[in-house]
C-alpha cells in the first residue's frame, strides 16, 4: 500500500526548520515525506546535525516504504545562502514559494497534508511583503475562512482573533466574527477530529467574563447573544467563562475544545504544560495543515541541538487526520 505523502516546509532558512526536517526524516514515521525547500539547505542542515540524509528528487510517484533518513525533495532554490541565526529578507520569496507549492499541491491532490516548520514573519515584512503568518497565507491561497487551533494530547484551544495588537481585539470581536468562528470550530471538531457532539467552552473577553457588565460589556452585548442563537441551532456551548478558571482540571471534563478571544489569553496555559507536544492546526482549509507551536529559535540555529518533538507531533497528527478523513470518505 502506498505511503501517505506529507509535504513538509522548512520555513525560515536561517532558523531551525531545516534541522528539524532532517531530524523528522531520521524517524521511522511511515510516510512519504516531501520536503519543499532548497536541497542544499537540507544537506547543510544534515551536516550540522551529524546525520546521514538520503535526498530523493520528488517525481510525485507513490512509494511503498521509506528508510529512516530518506527524504524526498521538491527543490525551491534560495535567493542567497542562509546564515544561521540571521534571517535575510532576500529569501522571503523563497519562503512564500514553498508555502504556495504546499498549498497548491494539497489542493491538487499531490500531497495528503502539509506540515510546516516555523518562519520569520518580520523578515518577510522587511522584504516589503505584507505578511501576517502561515494561517492567513493559506486562507488567502485557498479562498477559505479559517480558524487557528492549537492542540495537545490534553487540550484544544481555538482563537477568535490571531495576530492582532491587544488594543485592536475588542473591536474585532463582532457577532459576525464569533458566529463564523464557532461554526467552523464546531464543524471541524466533527469532521476532522471525529467528535459527534462537540462541546466548546467560550472564554469571556474581560476579567471575570465582565462581572455582569461592571468590567466591560462585550459579554453582555456580543458574546451572550451569539451563544444563545447558536445554542438554538443545536451547538453545545459553555460560557462565556472567566479565563482564569476555565482551565482548572474540574472544568476540563466539561468541554472538548476552548475558544479564546485573543492569542495570549489561553496559549500560555497550553504551551506551559505541553510545549513539545502541542500542534498548530488550521481549521476550515480544504486540506490538512499542521505545524509546530514554536518559533524559529534563531539562537539555536546552526547548532544541531533544536528539539524536533513539536514537528514530529505535527507530522503524527497530520497522519491521524488523514487516516480519519480517508476512513470517513472511503478513500484508498
Write the DSSP string, 250-293.
Answer: HHHTT-SEEEESSHHHHHHHHHHHHGGG-EEEEET-SSEEEE-S
The verdict on 20 and 130 lying in the same domain is yes
Question: For position 331, what pLDDT does the model report?
Answer: 55
- CB 291 within 8 Å of CB 20: no
Residue ranges making up the domain that contains 164: 147-282
Total domains present in the chain:
2
Q: Are residues 173 and 251 in the same domain?
A: yes
pLDDT digits (tens, 9 = 90+) for 239-258: 999 999 999 999 999 999 99
What's phi and psi for 173, nearest 5 deg? -85, 85
Q: Kindly state whether residues 135 and 9 are assigned to the same domain.
A: yes
CATH number at residue 135: 3.40.718.10
What is residue 122's three-state secondary structure? Answer: helix
Say yes or no: 155 and 24 in one domain: no
pTM, two decimals, is: 0.92
Q: Based on the fold, state whether residues 127 and 10 are members of the same structural domain.
A: yes
In the predicted model, is pLDDT for residue 328 greater than 80? no
pLDDT surpassing 70 at residue 332: no
Residues 188 and 304 in one domain: no
For residues 181 and 105, membership in a common domain is answered with no
- Helical packing angle, 17-25 and 39-49, nearest 10°: 80
4 with 116, same domain? yes
**Together in a domain, 131 and 164:** no
Q: What gap in Å lies between CA 323 and CA 289, rounded to an integer?
A: 14
> 328 vs 251, which has greater pLDDT?
251
Three cell numbers, residue 79: 535567493
Residue 8 sits in the same domain as residue 111: yes
Where is the domain boundary, 245, 261, 282? 282
Give, in degrees to the nearest 5, the angle at Cα 281 between 307 and 22.
30
Enclosing H/E stretch for 118: none
pLDDT in tens, 61-108: 999 999 999 999 999 999 999 999 999 999 999 999 999 999 999 999
Same domain, 247 and 220: yes
Amino acid at each position: 500500500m502506498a505511503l501517505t505523502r506529507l509535504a513538509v516546509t522548512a520555513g525560515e532558512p536561517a532558523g531551525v526548520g531545516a534541522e528539524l526536517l532532517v531530524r523528522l526524516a531520521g524517524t521511522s514515521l511511515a510516510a512519504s515525506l516531501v520536503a519543499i525547500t532548497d536541497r542544499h539547505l537540507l544537506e547543510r542542515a544534515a551536516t550540522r546535525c551529524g546525520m546521514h540524509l538520503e535526498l530523493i528528487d520528488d517525481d510525485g510517484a507513490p512509494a511503498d516504504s521509506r528508510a529512516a533518513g530518506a527524504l524526498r525533495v521538491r527543490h525551491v532554490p534560495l535567493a542567497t545562502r542562509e546564515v544561521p541565526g540571521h534571517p535575510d529578507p532576500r529569501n522571503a520569496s523563497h519562503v512564500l514559494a514553498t508555502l504556495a507549492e504546499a498549498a497548491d499541491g494539497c489542493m491538487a491532490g499531490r500531497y495528503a497534508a502539509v506540515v510546516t516548520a516555523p518562519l520569520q514573519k518580520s523578515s518577510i515584512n522587511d522584504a516589503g511583503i505584507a505578511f501576517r503568518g502561515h494561517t492567513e497565507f493559506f486562507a488567502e491561497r485557498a479562498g477559505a475562512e479559517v480558524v487557528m487551533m492549537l492542540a495537545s494530547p490534553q487540550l484544544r484551544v481555538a482563537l477568535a482573533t490571531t495576530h492582532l495588537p491587544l488594543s485592536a481585539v475588542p473591536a474585532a470581536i463582532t457577532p459576525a466574527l464569533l458566529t463564523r468562528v464557532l461554526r467552523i470550530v464546531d464543524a471541524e471538531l466533527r469532521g476532522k477530529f471525529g467528535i459527534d457532539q462537540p462541546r466548546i467552552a467560550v472564554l469571556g473577553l474581560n476579567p471575570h467574563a465582565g462581572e455582569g457588565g461592571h468590567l466591560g460589556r462585550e459579554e453582555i452585548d456580543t458574546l451572550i447573544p451569539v451563544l444563545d442563537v447558536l445554542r438554538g441551532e443545536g451547538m453545545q456551548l459553555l460560557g462565556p467563562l472567566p479565563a482564569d478558571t476555565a482551565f482548572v482540571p474540574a472544568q476540563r471534563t466539561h468541554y472538548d475544545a476552548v475558544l479564546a478571544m485573543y492569542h495570549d489569553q489561553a496559549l500560555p496555559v497550553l504551551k506551559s504544560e505541553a510545549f513539545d507536544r502541542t500542534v498548530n492546526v488550521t481549521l476550515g482549509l480544504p486540506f490538512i495543515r499542521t505545524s509546530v507551536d514554536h518559533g524559529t529559535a534563531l539562537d539555536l540555529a546552526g547548532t544541531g541541538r533544536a528539539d524536533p518533538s513539536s514537528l514530529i507531533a505535527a507530522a503524527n497528527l497530520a497522519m491521524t487526520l488523514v487516516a480519519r478523513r480517508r476512513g470517513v470518505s472511503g478513500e484508498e
